[in-house]
Amino acid sequence: MSKDNHWGSTLEDFLNEEGIHDEAKANAASRVIAWQLAEEMARNGVTRTEMAERMRTSRAQINRILKAEGNVTIGTLQRAAALLGKHVRIELV
């Protein structure tokens, strides 16, 4: 049995040691916003096709936004949220 060097460390410690902490945090934030947009769309009965029409974009782009794939800008997320009567809040803490 090999000794695990990360035994007893936190996830944050592990991510820092691997050099991927900031990337993982940004990815998690994108996924949370994508999930919130999908939930709000469902709550309002808005389909992906409808959302694409509202945003004047393709359904494929809506799929990328909702899967948190690629490089989705803050502006795009804000516009999507606004079309659902919401806003994106970003804070420095």
Contacts by 9-13 with C-beta closer than 8 Å and gap 24+? none
Give a yes or no: residue 28 inside a domain. yes
Closest C-alpha to 44, from 34, 53, 33, 36: 36
Give a yes or no: residue 2 inside a domain. no
Prediction pTM value: 0.79
Q: CATH number for the domain including 70?
A: 1.10.260.40
Q: Whole domain around residue 65: which residue ranges?
A: 11-83
Give a yes or no: residue 3 inside a domain. no
Give a yes or no: residue 46 inside a domain. yes
Give a yes or no: residue 16 inside a domain. yes
Q: What is the pLDDT along the chain (93 residues), one digit of tens a residue?
A: 456 665 777 888 888 888 888 888 888 888 999 999 999 999 999 999 999 999 999 999 999 999 988 788 889 999 999 999 999 998 888
**Domain count for the chain:** 1
